[in-house]
A and B are shown apart, each in its own frame.
Chain A
Amino acid sequence: DTAVSQTPKYLVTQMGNDKSIKCEQNLGHDTMYWYKQDSKKFLKIMFSYNNKELIINETVPNRFSPKSPDKAHLNLHINSLELGDSAVYFCASSQAGEETQYFGPGTRLLVL
């Protein structure tokens, strides 16, 4: 069983479209994160949720909106996609009080 899963794995879309990426973890963790990895492989946190509550919101355009329906899921919705949104998006999870984060396989987004 995959601990942290993301769908889709690949996403190719046109500029201006709206798309969503889904993340699910079956580790029983209460904190989930979204990270963005750019074309130079640099990783930066975007958001984190703890028990469905937004904890971290880094300087991310408001076209990006995370949604956590329950503590096992954290989805990322992106409006009006731009070329610069092309990247790999990683979901991760951890248990409060534990420092280790477990990462999903990533979603490779290409905006044309």
Chain B
Amino acid sequence: AQSVTQLGSHVSVSEGALVLLRCNYSSSVPPYLFWYVQYPNQGLQLLLKYTSAATLVKGINGFEAEFKKSETSFHLTKPSAHMSDAAEYFCAVSYYNQGGKLIFGQGTELSVKP
């Protein structure tokens, strides 16, 4: 079955520290991969996506993610956390010919300490 796992429901970092949010997917076919961010009481905003082009993907707000097929991973990183990065982050996958259905991970809440 196709699924997405985000390791760690809550990650806390200090301002200026590296942010690493983990995402692994489970499927026999390569997916399209996404990271979305949700600020409190708001909708989801796309941070970045992988759709079979370059494996290192750069997104908005200084975030990037690397697709590693051998590890079925798509971890999200940012070199230096900012207070404004505090939010809920969702990894998601979709597959060709499935009508665009997004399958989400459980989400990771990122806290940034001053």
Contact B101 A56 (CB under 8 A): yes
Q: Which of B38, B90, B100 contacts A33 (CB 8 A)?
A: B100
Residues on B lying within 8 angstroms of A by beta carbon are 32, 34, 36, 38, 41-46, 49, 51, 88, 90, 92, 94, 99-104, 106-107
Interface of B is mostly: strand
Q: Which residues of A contact B101 (CB under 8 A)?
A: 33, 45, 48, 56
The tally of CB-CB contacts under 8 A between chains A and B is 60
Q: How large is the interface on A (under 10, 10 to 19, 20 to 34, 35 or more residues)?
A: 20 to 34
Residues on A lying within 8 angstroms of B by beta carbon are 4, 31, 33, 35, 40-45, 48, 50, 55-56, 90, 92, 94, 99-106, 108
Contact A105 B104 (CB under 8 A): no
Question: What are 9 A-B pairs with beta-carbon distances under 8 A?
Answer: A33-B102, A42-B104, A45-B101, A56-B101, A99-B51, A100-B46, A100-B49, A102-B46, A105-B42
Q: Which residues of A contact B88 (CB under 8 A)?
A: 41
Q: Which residues of A contact B46 (CB under 8 A)?
A: 100-102
Using CB atoms, name the residue of chain A closest to B42: A105
